[in-house]
Amino acid sequence: MRFLATLLLIPALLGAADTNPSTKKHGKVVNGIERLLYVTNKTGISVYDINDSHQLIRKIDVPDTADYKGISASVQLGKLYLTSNLKDELLCMDLATDAIDWRRHYSDGYADSQAITPDGKTLYVPLRDGESWWVIDAATGDVKTKIP
């Protein structure tokens, strides 16, 4: 089974922490930083708190997806991106709500392991069996250009 993970450094949110692991949304804050590890499995995401001995915080179901090939995040936009082999698509999830913002299928092949720019605004998505990498606007999923 192939697992993919990304580490997010998220500034601490104000408010009391939820101590019930089945409903807990946030991790332990150390020096003003919440460090979470997002790990994909066959049909969803498990979120672990790095600051608290990698305790499982929650699981996120991602409907109509499976067999992920890539995961990346934009802390600046508060978004998580997954490439799902089930429907050959790229998905954008809101990190605050766990809701899917958009999902796109690009016609040139199936989206594989993407990369994101340091500013969190642009995704570079190789399309397997395609002739190019696609440069994607991370906020909208729109294609900016293609790189042969």
Domains identified in the chain and CATH numbers: 5-106 (2.40.10.480)
CB 114 within 8 A of CB 126: yes
- Per-residue confidence (pLDDT) for residue 31, from 0 to 100: 92
- Could you give the CA distance from residue 2 to residue 91 in angstroms, rounded to a whole number? 18
What tokens were used for 79?
Answer: 């978004």
The per-residue pLDDT for 111 is 83
| Amino acid letter for position 126 | P
pTM: 0.79
Q: What b-and-e string marks burial along 11-47, b requiring 16 or more CB atoms within 10 Å of the CB?
A: eeeeeeeeeeeeebebbbbeeeebbbbbbbbebbbbb
Helix (H) or strand (E) holding 72, with range, is strand 68-74
- Helix %, strand %, coil % of the chain (to 5): 0, 50, 45
Write down the pLDDT at residue 23: 54
The Cα–Cα gap between 38 and 36 comes to: 6
pLDDT of residue 131: 80
Length of the chain: 148
In angstroms, the Cα distances linking 109 to 36, 83, 89, 122, 126 are 31, 12, 9, 19, 9
Averages of pLDDT over each 10 residues, the chain, 148 residues: 41 39 74 91 89 93 86 94 88 93 84 92 88 92 93
C-alpha angle with apex 119: 91 to 88, nearest 5 degrees? 20
